[in-house]
Structure 1
Amino acid sequence: MILTITMNPAVDKSTTIEQLVPDKKLRCSELQMDAGGGGINVSKGISELGGKSIALFPAGGPNGETLKRLLSEKGIDCAIIAVKAETRETFMVTQLSGNKQYRFVMPGHEPDAGTTERCLSQLASMDPFPSIVVASGSLPPGVPEDFYAQVARTVKMKGGKLIVDTSGAALKAAVKEGVFLLKPNLGELASLTGTAYLQEDDILPAARQLISAGSCEIVVVSMGASGAMLVSQDFHGTAPAPDVKKQSTSGAGDSMVAGMTWMLEQGKTLSEILRFGIACGSAATMNPGTQLFRKKDVMQLFVANEEERR
């Protein structure tokens, strides 16, 4: 069983406009609304692939009700921590002229007192306990920086595997505690290893440094248009990003995590996990707004990659 944790969920709203012009009334296309936030996006991706997961998150106010409805419509099982604080929203406008994206991301409201403890209690009491837990996304104001580290302790105690995809102080705290898989970008990997800047040749030793320190068992480093590198104690491999027509980069990282998690649950090889994750992330960029990938696009990209390898 897979569980995703999203402490800062959102209702993602997106629209398009021909040209952004200041001080003018701008006529937009029909508003698109999607359930969003790191872990929720991972659950959506797993569902699109035909898998099952449970999405754990706090939700409150009218936006919280919208979030529940959007996930219910997709048939995603949820473990919801009811709060009074309004669930945040994000807004993205795509300027059709030049395909430029403008993303407005709200910080989220400080949750009610005790929300963190209720989430951790909900996690610890799950029976059966999930074999894989994905903790993804930013932390809202008021949630302690070591929240993901606390999640890591619970998951390790229960014998599960924890995947963490976050940044900043929350990432550093999780690394200090130790997790199963990390997905930093180049800048985050540099920060974690105390380096000002990393070039591609530096990735492997930097990742191995984290593994040797007990920070994680697997590191998957996002390299943007260059793809990604996966490193474990006994394996390392790189997968390039396929050449696709990009419409939006929103949710590409979460889509990659969804694909890797889905393959990990099925016991696939590390090479397959990496290449499938890249296919999911690339497929997400083919869709507009805050939509994620379509399974048929993922499979076409993955199969094409397999054929090229032969």
Structure 2
Amino acid sequence: MMSIATLTLNPTIDVAYEVDHVFHTRKMRTKSEFYEPGGGGINVARVFVRLGGNARSYYLSGGATGHALDGLLDLHQLVRNRIPIKGHTRVAAAVLERESGKEYRFVPPGPFIEPGEWQQCLKQLEDAQCDYMVASGSLPPGVPDDFYGRLVALMARRNIPVVLDSSGPGLRGGLAEGGVFLVKPSIGELRQLTGRDLLDQDSVAGAAMEIVDKGQAAHVAVTMGHEGALLASAGRQLHLPAVGIEAKSAVGAGDSFLSAMVFAISLGWDISDAFRFGIAAGAAAVMSPGHDLARPDDIRQLYERVAQIP
């Protein structure tokens, strides 16, 4: 079994509530509350470990909320490397309105990261022992746009493949370095990256193949919600529809997708089969309430359905 290291520059404490109805001004009493450690890389590590893999989480953490995040990670028994920062770790909230079934999500930008802090992060990663480095999540304020590009270059010198899942400047800066092993943009992130509408499957496939052809990434997995997902690699493309399930929450779907795909790759699966396993995990996460991620039994059950799609 191979191991991964995950990097989360902008982690969160994810808080989830349920209320009967959302009103303005009035105090709303919640029916339940949940607290989980979150942020792209941390979520990837959680699912990877659930599936039976080995993962070490590198993350920035600071302030009173940073200590709370550390404690939540310990409750999940995740192996962790904390890079201390002055700023307070952010808290994100998801509120489920029971009456409508709608979910409202509130996500702050995160703390400002000092130059010495993000530089210390890169220094720690010089010693990371892993078979794959998964960089997932947004860049917090203060971190340079080319940070993920620097990480890709650092890992390239150590022959460690990098998996990238970010948005905006983080995605652009990571791909600009070239040589990413796998990148997983959502359709919205790919539109932002290319500046195009990408309204049909052919245009999405074309944009993904451009990334491959430029040598920016060997594999591009584009998640498109209810329209399924698309995989582009040298010489091949694969588009698969979404699994028909009842959606309860979109929280952690992309992270679950990526984690399961990398897990399957680490087992030596063909990239297409790993892609199918990722689709199953994304669907499994959508089946779960907003405070949870994909569960292995659900992933494997749904994979049987995805595997039968021609």
Q: Fold conserved (TM > 0.5)?
A: yes
> What's the offset of the Cα at 1:113?
4.2
Identity %: 36
- The answer as to 2:302 corresponding to 1:301 is yes
Aligned positions of 1:75-154 closer than 5 A: 75-126=77-128, 129-154=129-154
Determine which of 13, 16, 29 is the counterpart of 1:14.
16
CA distance in 1 between partners of 2:20 and 2:192 (Å): 39
> 1:186-197 residue pairs with structure 2 within 5 A?
186-197=187-198
Q: How many residues matched?
A: 307
Question: Post-superposition shift, 1:82?
Answer: 1.7
| TM-score (norm: length of structure 1) | 0.95
Unaligned runs of 5+ in 1: none
| Residue 34 (structure 1) aligned to one of 19, 33, 36 | 36
User: Deviation string for 1:41-75 (max 9, x for gaps)?
Assistant: 10011011111100000111221122112111222
Instruction: Give 2:293's aligned residue.
Output: 292
Taking the aligned partners of 2:194 and 2:250, their CA distance within structure 1 comes to: 27
* Equivalent residue, structure 2, for 1:213: 214
The answer to whether the 8 A contact 1:193-1:210 is kept is no
Q: Hey, what's the Cα distance between the residues in 1 that align with 2:132 and 2:199? A: 30
How many angstroms does 1:148 deviate by?
0.5
Q: Please say if residues 52 and 76 of structure 1, whose CA atoms lie closer than 8 Å, have aligned partners that are also in contact.
A: no
Structure 1 distance, partners of 2:145, 2:206, is 27
Contact 2:16-2:95 at 8 Å conserved across structures = yes
In 2, Cα distance between the equivalents of 1:232 and 1:113? 36
Partner of 2:273: 272
Change (3 A) 1:197 1:226: closer
Task: Answer yes or no: is the 8 Å Cα contact 1:186–1:198 preserved in 2.
Answer: no
The one-letter code sitting in structure 2 at the alignment partner of 1:160 is I
Distance 1:62 1:184 in 2: 32
**Per-residue deviation, 1:286:** 0.9
- Per the normalisation by structure 2, the TM-score is 0.95
Distance in 1 separating the partners of 2:13 and 2:194: 34
Which structure 2 residue ranges, 5 or more long, are not aligned?
none
Root mean square deviation, CA, Å: 1.5
**1:193–1:273 CA distance, 2 compared to 1 (3 A):** same
3-state DSSP of counterpart to 1:180: strand
Residue 35 of structure 1 aligns to a residue in which SS? strand
Alpha carbons of structure 1 residues 191 and 249: separation in structure 2 relative to 1, 3 Å: closer
Q: Following the alignment from structure 1 to structure 2, what is the Cα–Cα distance between the partners of residues 86 and 205?
A: 41
Q: Secondary structure at the match of 2:32?
A: coil
- Once the two structures are TM-superposed, the CA of residue 185 in structure 1 deviates from its matched residue by 2.2
Q: Distance in 2 between matches of 1:26 and 1:6?
A: 32
**Paired position in structure 1 for 2:177:** 177
